[in-house]
Amino acid sequence: MAFNYEKYIRPGKLPHIWCPGCGHGIVMKGLIRAIDKCALNKNRTAVISGIGCASRLPGYVDFNTVHTAHGRAAAFATGMKMADPGLTVLCVGGDGDGVAIGGNHFIHACRRNIDITYILMNNHIYGMTGGQFSPCTPTDGFASTTPYGNPDPVFDIAKLAIGAGATFVARTTAYHATQIDKLIIEGIQHKGFSVIEILDCCPTSYGRRNKYRSVVEMMKQHKELAVPVTAAAKMAPEDLAGKIITGVLHKEDKPEYCEQYSRLIEKVQEQAAAKG
Amino acid sequence: MGIPKIEINEKYCKGCSICVEFCPTQVLQMNGFVAQVVKPEACIKCMQCELRCPDFAIRVFPE
Amino acid sequence: MTRKTALIQGNEACAHAAVYAGCTFFAGYPITPSSEIAEVLAKELPKVGGKFIQMEDEIAAMAAIIGASLCGHKVMDASSGPGMSLKQELIGYACIAEIPCVIVNVMRGGPSTGMPTGPSQSDVMQARWGTHGDHAAIAIAPASCQEIFAETVRAFNLAETYRMPVQILMDEIVAHMREKIVFPEPGELAIVTRQAPFVSPAEYKPFDTSFGDIPPLAAMGGNYRYHVTGLNKAPDGFPTTKAELVDAEERRQLRKVEAHAAAIEKNEEYLTEDAEVIVLSFGITSRSARFAVDSLRQEGVRAGLFRPITLWPFPEKRVAEVARKTRAIVVPEMNLGQLVYEVERVVKGSCRLAALGRVDGEPITPYQIIDKVKEVL
């Protein structure tokens, strides 16, 4: 049965601003299906973003939505979650927003293990500003500011998140549409900071400059390079070079930040009461 | 099992052709810059076109 | 009834006043000479069920308080020079998205790392213009520990009333000086809470001006669901580039302060009525100025003190009136000329004007002020 997305889309907001073939729409649909599956209360759900193409997502969805400043989504979301720990807080945004200008906020949100689900759409480029290279643009790749090829190494977002202390880290691609909602559901249900990296396609700013004939070619490449994490475990490292490992990459239970702070408040108040 | 109803919202479709290219049974075709249903009887209701359409332009009602 | 008193620092008074005002969320980042505010609130907020969070940087602290304010909390952040420079981005966000918050700037020398442990009053213009784009500003500069308490409470009230960021500008001396303060009883000082929506969730628009220039703000997570952006926005909160909407919104945001300047302004005048010379001074410098005024009076010079407690909006009407009745105004400030330019703009040549700046990390002494007054007369 066709899924009724309209239930979660603000009236009159479609069609969205994203270019033909941009995968952000695929991710937005996955996010909506995940929220529907989790039966979240719209009034008790907040979607927070920074700046960039992907960060325009909150404007379309009918929740509490905050389109913040460039890179700052995780820090705003931390304030909101701490202010109202019962609120389901989701961050959405792109690679430049999340791990370049927002890198510090991102790693510290991971470290605190605050119960926020961060959906990072990695399309390897700054799309909105016209295709400048990001920390996720492949080395030797072309962008408007790497006219001779990108000399920079690339951030592995999942490794960064795991290293910084995130307790749920997963990856998929915009091609793997059904896996998007599955992983977001797991992320929402996980108590702690969850990162879901979704490799996305920007045919306009990245594809054109890097000899992809169409977004379909980009998606087919994601399909071919994807290796489920279970299969990857049985493969030699050299065979995994250049592959995209998909699925739940890391999951552990660790104390969640807001719960820790609630316990602190209880302790302080008990001590104060004991003193009279 | 009847033929599924496939709706394409032409106002939303931006013509990326993702649905056409990933349909396993060639149900869809591009008509200029808009996707079009050409072989509904071949549809196997896999829903991949609806899932992957970035523009909220396709809905499949499998009956 | 014996009133609770204490010998405390200005920073401590500020933190206790925040709790009195109903602040339940503080986010900060350590920086001299403001850190005691964070330290006291880390201790005090959990006692009242409030939250304290030390963020990863100054920008994050601003972001966190804006987020918490959107969820209905009264919020505060405290910093100094370099931290304030970093916060400017999100001070602008709080301005355009109209989110109440209080930001304390304990001023130190600058630019850059400057003199972290030295006093300064060199962020006067930063407090007015410190973020890009046109925006309104409210900044308060208290001069004693008791006043810091009262003015911190007033800063929260102004932020909640006008739906905007309010800055408390202290200098390192008032922040670290210990004075006896008398704690106000609960209910003694007025406490303002932000206006809740007048309409149902279905009719609610976060920037609806049907009820005046200050739209009611609903707490996120309650029954009202809406969108907030840092882009120029329409009354419904969604981005717009429509010329007439952008123009109306920008002008309204300035009007929030302009139209209520009389209610926001607060000055202290000491012997200004018959004054032939007025020392216009704020913060710790105003205390040297008061001493100078008394000394000058003893010498037969009819001196007076005009002390703006609200620096922004600048009390331009009153300063212009005072200037017309006096021969000269002297503006001592711990910078190389900031507030004096605002005075010059307002006075429009109706009396003589002299600046007295000091930036060596030492306060301006009464004797420097006396000498300057004699020089100008």
Q: Tell me, what's the ipTM?
A: 0.97
Burial of residue A23 (CB within 10 Å: 0-12, 13-18, 19+) is buried
In total, the C-beta contacts within 8 angstroms joining chain A to chain C are 129
Cβ <8 Å between C230 and A67 = yes
- For C88, name the nearest residue in chain A, comparing CA atoms only: A69
pTM over 0.80: yes
In total, the C-beta contacts within 8 angstroms joining chain A to chain B are 66
Q: Of B11, B54, B60, which is closest to A18 when you measure between CB atoms? A: B54
Q: C267-376: same fold as C5-182?
A: yes
Range A5-275 has CATH code 3.30.470.20: no
Q: Residues near B62 by Cβ (< 8 Å), separated by ≥ 6?
A: A1, B4, B45, B47
pLDDT at C345: 98
HEC letters along chain C: CCCCEEEEEHHHHHHHHHHHHCEEEEEECCCCCCHHHHHHHHHHHHHHCCEEEECCCHHHHHHHHHHHHHCCCEEEEEECHHHHHHHHHHHHHHHHCCCCEEEEEEEEECCCCCEEEEECCCCHHHHHHCCCCCCCCEEECCCCHHHHHHHHHHHHHHHHHHCCEEEEEEEHHHHHCEEEEECCCCCCCCCCCCCCCCCCCCCCCCCCCCCCCCCCCCCCCCCCCCEEECCCECCCCCECCCHHHHHHHHHHHHHHHHCCHHHHCCEEEECCCCCCEEEECCCCHHHHHHHHHHHHHHCCCCEEEEEECEEECCCHHHHHHHHHCCCEEEEEECCCCCHHHHHHHHHCCCCEEEEEECCCCCCCCHHHHHHHHHHHC
Those residues of chain A whose CB sits closer than 8 Å to some CB in chain C are 10, 42-44, 46, 48, 51, 58-59, 62-69, 72, 75-80, 82-84, 86-87, 104-105, 107-108, 261, 264-265, 268-269, 272
pLDDT at A276: 77
Cβ atoms of residues C80 and C106 within 8 Å: yes
What is the set of domains in chain B, with CATH numbers?
5-61 (3.30.70.20)
* Rounded Cα–Cα distance for residues A146 and A130 (Å): 12
- For B51, name the nearest residue in chain A, comparing CA atoms only: A177
CATH fit for domain C267-376, picks 3.40.50.970, 2.60.40.740, 3.50.50.60, 3.40.50.920? 3.40.50.920
- For B4, name the nearest residue in chain A, comparing CA atoms only: A1
Cβ <8 Å between B22 and A219 = yes
Q: What is the pLDDT of residues C238-296, one digit of tens each?
A: 999 999 999 999 999 999 999 999 999 999 999 999 999 999 999 999 999 999 999 99
Q: What is the pLDDT of residues B38-61, one digit of tens each?
A: 999 999 999 999 999 999 999 999
Q: Would you say residue B63 has pLDDT above 80? A: no
Please report, for residues C122, C129, C286, C372, the alpha-carbon distance to residue C331 in angstroms, rounded to integers and kept in the order given.
13, 20, 10, 9
Chain A neighbours (≥3 Cβ pairs under 8 A) are: B, C
Q: Residues near B49 by Cβ (< 8 Å), separated by ≥ 6?
A: B6, B18, B19, B22, B23, B27, B28, B58, B60
| pLDDT (average), residues C301-318 | 98
Task: For chain B, say whether A36 makes contact (Cβ under 8 Å).
Answer: no
| Contacting residues of A for C56, CB less than 8 Å apart | 75, 104-105, 107-108
Domain boundaries, chain C: 5-182, 267-376
Q: Would you say residue B1 has pLDDT above 90? A: no
Q: Of C47, C67, C230, which is closest to A78 when you measure between CB atoms? A: C67
Q: What is the pLDDT of residues A67-123, one digit of tens each?
A: 999 999 999 999 999 999 999 999 999 999 999 999 999 999 999 999 999 999 999
Q: Under CATH, what is the fold of the domain C5-182? A: Rossmann fold (3.40.50)
* Rounded Cα–Cα distance for residues C171 and C286 (Å): 12
Task: For chain A, say whether B29 makes contact (Cβ under 8 Å).
Answer: no
* Rounded Cα–Cα distance for residues C197 and C72 (Å): 12
pLDDT at A177: 97
Task: For chain B, say whether A19 makes contact (Cβ under 8 Å).
Answer: yes
- For B63, name the nearest residue in chain A, comparing CA atoms only: A1
Q: Would you say residue C1 has pLDDT above 70? A: no
**A touches C, CB cut-off 8 Å, minimum 3 pairs:** yes
Q: Would you say residue A1 has pLDDT above 90? A: no
Domain boundaries, chain A: 5-275
